[in-house]
Amino acid sequence: MLATPSGIPACPDTGRQRRLAVQLADMIPGAATIRVSLTDPQQTWPHLHAVVKDETGKTMELGRTSARVAARWILRVWPEADWTRPHTFHLADATLTRSDLVAAGRGR
């Protein structure tokens, strides 16, 4: 695939992100967003952590295994993301945004 001078592919593969959104929606019915971070509040060292919310913003209960699988899949689709910061994956439009920027109102 051709790349721009910045090294970013000229035609990014959005099909992969959309397939992931469909798979996660099937795996977690009712999920709208999945927030992924490396800071699990119950661990003292970096550890994958996922918080799933429905369309109303209510946190959904998710088993530890399912949460880790979802987080790993998201990390693998976006390996270039700065995972020192939390990110939110929006299943409706298959986009990933930094959660701290959304909370500050600076982007989506």
> pLDDT tens for residues 7-25?
555 445 679 999 999 999 9
Q: Is residue 39 in some structural domain? A: yes
Q: Is residue 104 in some structural domain? A: no
> pLDDT tens for residues 13-69?
679 999 999 999 999 999 999 999 987 777 667 778 899 999 999 999 999 899 999
Domain that holds residue 62: 14-99
pTM, 2 dp: 0.77
Q: Is residue 108 in some structural domain? A: no
> pLDDT tens for residues 68-77?
999 999 999 9
Per-residue pLDDT band for 101 (boundaries 50, 70, 90) equals: low
Q: Total structural domains in the chain?
A: 1
H or E stretch at 51:
strand 49-53
